[in-house]
């Protein structure tokens, strides 16, 4: 049973999930990752096939919107002679829709799509557009994989029948971070926001809550992305309260921040799921997050603190409550169990295809 996993997005959270899958998959000799050339997969036990892709965001979009580029990648898929093709996220690109269509029509093989965001994040026209394309890709796919039970009813509303739907939770290879942990780093009264700075992540709410905790805590905001100019000036004008790391951070830098932090804050306005709770749990850092989407289940499982969205006062109380909270690493987060879930999914899809 040869499985080809196409992984257009290999930076950040999806890369760490992919590493966890590949390192713990029960039959790595049957697994091939088809990834952009930037992917660091030399240490993985499975086969890794890389294709050329520019690092620039605009150049990437040109590629993913080009039928000619998509056809070249499909010829590479065909050459690998897969029994199953699995698109791992990035379902909102036209190339993904073409791969699903060509796999079903020309190869007559099952095509699985992993959907990270069953509903689009607010505040971005690009997200709304890719979600519309993604829904067309789902229709072409034979099966759909989601990461949270929270979105099962929504997928049913979109016309995805239960027999086409698989649920396997998000998984992160935290060793990418924990290997950089240093001894003798003292916990600080520091609340850490880590991740790409996006409109839906509630950073204005975080700033307002932080100003109510002046003198009790400091706040680190770390990750790439663009803040509104007024909000950025507000943060930068208060160096006694905030430290801003507005860039892509190395794993070593992320590890250092989590070792310093006493609380991890996720004041999202809307969420699907996130790899951040995994990293926080690995470093023993309690999480306070809004009760939204699949994120709520993740935080609940690790004994974190849940609050309503868009509520600075609730965030203040949540941060104070989370201080010293004992976190747990749920058994179902075990990478071996998650990777076994993928193997079971592939086995079922393969068996169904063989019986037709």
Take residue 79 and report the two structure tokens written for it. Answer: 């050459």
The answer to whether domain 3-167+334-354 and domain 175-325 are alike in fold is yes
For residue 304, CA distances in Å to 27, 95, 281, 323, 337 come to 34, 39, 10, 10, 22
Per-residue confidence (pLDDT) for residue 354, from 0 to 100: 52
Residue 86's beta-bridge partner residues? 5, 112
The CA distance from 244 to 34, in Å, is 35
Assign domain 175-325 one CATH number from 3.20.20.70, 2.60.40.3950, 3.20.20.120, 3.40.50.2000.
3.40.50.2000
Could you identify the residue written with the tokens 């006694």?
Answer: 240
Taking the C-alpha atoms of residue 205 and residue 201, their distance in angstroms, rounded to an integer, is 9
DSSP lists the bridge partners of residue 111 as 85
> Is the CB of residue 288 less than 8 Å from the CB of residue 323?
no
- Domains of the chain, by residue range, sit at 3-167+334-354, 175-325
Predicted confidence at residue 103, as pLDDT, reads 97
pLDDT of residue 72: 95
Q: Please report the pLDDT score of residue 126 as a whole number.
A: 73
Return the H-helix or E-strand segment holding 217: none
State how far the Cα of 155 lies from the Cα of 134, in Å rounded to an integer: 12
Fold of 3-167+334-354: Rossmann fold (3.40.50)
Closest CA to 327 of 290, 277, 260: 277
Smallest CA-to-CA distance from 303 within 322, 276, 319 is with: 322
What pTM, to 2 d.p., does this model score? 0.92
What is the structure's pLDDT at 123?
Answer: 67
Between CA 3 and CA 290 the distance in angstroms is 37
Cα 290 to Cα 318: distance, rounded to the nearest angstrom:
10
**pLDDT per residue as tens, the chain (356 positions):** 999 999 988 777 788 889 999 999 999 999 999 999 988 888 899 999 999 988 777 888 889 899 999 999 999 999 999 999 999 988 999 999 999 999 999 999 999 999 998 888 776 777 788 889 999 999 999 999 999 999 999 999 999 999 999 999 988 889 889 999 999 999 999 999 999 999 899 999 999 999 999 999 999 999 999 999 999 999 999 999 999 999 999 999 999 999 999 999 999 999 888 999 999 999 999 999 999 999 999 999 999 999 999 999 999 999 999 988 999 888 888 999 999 999 999 999 999 875 44
Q: What contacts 204, CB < 8 A, 6 or more positions away? A: 231
């Amino acid at each position: 049973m040869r499985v080809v996993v196409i992984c257009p997005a290999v930076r950040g959270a999806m890369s760490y999930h992919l590493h966890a899958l590949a390192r713990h998959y029960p039959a790595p000799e049957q697994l091939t990752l088809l990834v952009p050339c930037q992917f660091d997969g030399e240490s993985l036990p499975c086969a890794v096939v890389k294709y050329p892709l520019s690092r620039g965001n605009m150049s990437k979009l040109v590629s993913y919107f080009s039928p000619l580029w998509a056809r070249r990648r499909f010829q590479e898929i065909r050459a690998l002679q897969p029994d199953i093709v699995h698109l791992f996220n990035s379902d909102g690109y036209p190339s993904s829709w073409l791969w699903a269509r060509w796999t079903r029509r020309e190869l007559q093989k099952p095509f699985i799509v992993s959907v990270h965001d069953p509903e689009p994040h607010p505040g971005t026209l690009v997200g709304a557009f890719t979600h519309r394309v993604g829904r067309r890709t789902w229709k072409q796919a034979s099966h759909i994989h989601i990461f949270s039970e929270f979105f099962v009813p929504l997928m049913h509303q979109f016309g995805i029948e239960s027999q086409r739907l698989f649920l396997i939770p998000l998984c992160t290879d935290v060793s990418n971070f924990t290997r950089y942990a240093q001894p003798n780093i003292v916990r600080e009264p520091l609340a850490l926001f880590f991740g790409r700075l996006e409109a839906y992540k509630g950073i204005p709410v975080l700033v307002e809550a932080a100003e109510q905790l002046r003198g009790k805590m400091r706040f680190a905001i770390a990750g790439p992305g663009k803040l509104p100019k007024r909000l950025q000036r507000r943060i930068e004008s208060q160096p006694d309260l905030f430290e801003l790391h507005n860039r892509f951070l190395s794993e070593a830098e992320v590890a250092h921040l989590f070792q310093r932090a006493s609380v991890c804050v996720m004041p999202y306005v809307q969420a699907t799921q996130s790899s951040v709770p995994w990293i926080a749990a690995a470093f023993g850092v309690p999480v306070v997050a809004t009760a939204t989407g699949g994120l709520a289940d993740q935080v609940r499982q690790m004994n974190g603190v849940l609050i309503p969205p868009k509520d600075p006062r609730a965030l203040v109380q949540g941060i104070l409550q989370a201080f010293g909270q004992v976190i747990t690493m749920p058994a179902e987060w075990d990478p071996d169990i998650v990777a076994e879930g993928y193997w079971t999914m592939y086995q079922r899809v393969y068996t169904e295809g063989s019986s037709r």
